[in-house]
Chain A
């Protein structure tokens, strides 16, 4: 399918060359003054990109195995530090938020619960916060 290209000259204003706006990626991350669904969109973008970054870091972490048992043990010691555990909580927030919000997007995107999608967002995010608190406690205490 083809959609019309943006013309270099305006048909409505002959002789005028409109200033093109370009692709504005910042709009993926600026939900301020927007509807709650837009916040959901931004949440999924940020969490999704964060999870991709985590997967890359995970590969780097696994590469510590190449350093032998001693190197791996040093790395494991590092993972039990409070800073690392805090990063674990952030990771958990990303997984839960992206997963539950993704469930909303999948349902609404299939034409289900469209009228209740805002309420669905609030309910799922409440569940996400509860799960995150439980998970955070377990990460720091278990």
Chain B
């Protein structure tokens, strides 16, 4: 059994004004939203651009907004979003600069992750002399950018570090293998105007996260650490922050 669904896709090509294109797709309801996008690209419009790689929610590259909510379209079934005859409104991730159609520039976001010492790939010395962990890291965060797109504070303040980088900082300052000076530098980034205090507890980052990273919870935990530390300081008690971190 196939359904007929309509894809309304936000289109943009450099030098042209943004527009919306509509495509009708005949597709089985258990197929994914990304399957439909690939069918459009294959049979209707070869100029449609979108990012994808793994098709099983581990690379985080295909994320975009469907009917107002960020999703990983490679794992979201059509029938979980619309009924037969329904419409899927597809937009690029919010708050990110648009390169083309559904492709956004992740560069500024990855730069913030790099500031938190959580780049996707860590360049180090030649492979044979180094353990694999020095090259690749496999943490729960897949850096899809959905939390950044969903955050209403990132939407109005591009200087805010944002949920994923703060969740990365939460991980880094507790790792025993990170040098103390690095942890201290990160803590000073985190405990600042553009850091954890900018969050307004909308918690949508946690709601949309496909990897259960719980960035909102991590930000609140960082705040608990910072608040408790300030109270301890006020009472003349010894600061109690993760090992290697001192109050700025």
Contacts and interface: CB of A to CB of B under 8 A. Distances in A.
Contacts of B200: 41, 44, 105
A33 B91 CA distance: 15
B59 interface: no
Interface of B: 12, 14, 18, 67-69, 94-100, 103-108, 111-112, 115, 150, 152, 155-161, 188-189, 192-195, 199-204, 206-207, 216-217, 220-221, 223-225, 227-228
B202 A37 contact: yes
Interface of A: 1, 3-4, 6-7, 10-13, 16-21, 23-25, 27-28, 30, 32-35, 37-38, 40-41, 44, 104-105, 108-112, 114-115, 117
Contacts of B96: 21
A38 B207 contact: yes
A122 B238 CA distance: 38
Given A1-B189, A111-B227, A23 B155 contact: yes
Contact of A35 (B156, B207, B228): B207
B19 to A, nearest CB: 12
Contacts of A105: 200-201
Contacts of B202: 34-35, 37-38, 40-41
B63 to A, nearest CB: 15
A113 to B, nearest CB: 9
B217 A114 contact: yes
B219 to A, nearest CB: 9
B95 A24 contact: yes
A6 B105 CA distance: 10
Contact of A4 (B69, B95, B108, B223): B108
A38 B227 contact: no
B61 to A, nearest CB: 11
Contacts of A28: 152, 155-156
Contacts of A18: 97-99, 104-105
